[in-house]
Amino acid sequence: MFRNLVILMLPFVFFTSCVSSKKFKQLDALKNDMKMENQALLQKLDEQVKENAGLEATNKNLRDEVYALKQDTTDCYNDVRSLSQKYNDLNKMYEELGSQSKKELTALIQQNQTLLKQLDEKQRLLTDKEAELKKREQRLQELEGMLAAKDAAINNLKKSIEAALLNFNKDDLTVEIRNGKIYVSVAEQLLFKSGSTVVDPKGKDALTKLAGALKNQPDIDIMVEGHTDSIPMNSGAIKDNWDLSVLRATSITRILISAGISPTAVIPAGHGEYMPVASNKDKDGRAKNRRTEIVLSPKLDEVFKILEGK
């Protein structure tokens, strides 16, 4: 617009002004200067337009960058808020876990203390049991040793009795060990006549020799047991088989005592017909049942003391 205005003014100035040739030259020179100036202004205008366009582009870029920065700032702010919330949540969770852990730790400590007390008690009981077991083992060893000694003594006594009664018939007199005891079984024909309570001389000789083997055995209890068959007694002096078995045991006991056995070591007893070793239906069976058994039992006072823990 400015360029067109300058061009329109030039003819008007040229034709209306009454100037001299000198002035005309001056005007012509001025016209050239103005053209050059106008040309320079147009060039500057183009440059300004281009510069304005560049500034507009730059401004737009800056606006875009500002917007992007604002968006980034908003995102960052949101991220910060989110991270802050997460941090708070994690911190709260940590505190809750810490509180829970303290409770669990306290419970575990209490449980551990209880277990330690139980362990100490178990250890104490175990120690007591071990001490008791050691005592029992010691008592068992003592008992086994004592029983072995008793067994050896019983075997030796049996041999001594067999040696003392060696000359007697085995059908009349037997010696055996049953259940830790020595049984000297003497048949009726060696000791008594039928229905009698008086010991025959041969039987008295056997009993005297037996007493000789026993009188130096203070740790032996002696039970004299009388046995009969099942045939009832007909004698008026003797009431029944009970009476006969007891009286025979008493007669044998007196002989043993007179031969040196302590009265406190001998007990007479009668079983009558009620402990037979054979059938009473035949003669041979009844003969076996009419017998006297002298039962020798080792005294077990020391064994009982061990068993009682004394």
Name the token pair of 143: 């008992």
Q: Which of 92-96, 206-210, 305-309 has the lowest mean pLDDT?
A: 305-309
* pLDDT tens per residue across span 116-174: 889 888 888 889 888 988 888 887 888 788 788 888 889 999 999 999 898 888 889 99
Q: Which residues contact 270 (CB under 8 A, 6 or more apart)?
A: 225, 226, 242, 243, 244, 245, 246, 247, 248, 249
Q: Which residues contact 267 (CB under 8 A, 6 or more apart)?
A: 221, 222, 223, 224, 253
Amino acid at 38: N
- Which domains are delineated in the chain? 145-307 (3.30.1330.60)
**What span, in angstroms and rounded, lies between the C-alpha atoms of 263 and 283?**
36
Q: Is the pLDDT of residue 195 over 80?
A: yes
* pLDDT tens per residue across span 48-91: 778 778 777 877 877 787 788 777 767 766 776 777 787 788 78
pLDDT > 90: what percent of the chain? Answer: 39
pLDDT at position 15 is: 47
**What span, in angstroms and rounded, lies between the C-alpha atoms of 78 and 72?**
10
Only one residue has tokens 């139980």, namely 118
pTM listed for this prediction: 0.58
Judged by DSSP in three states, 153 sits in helix
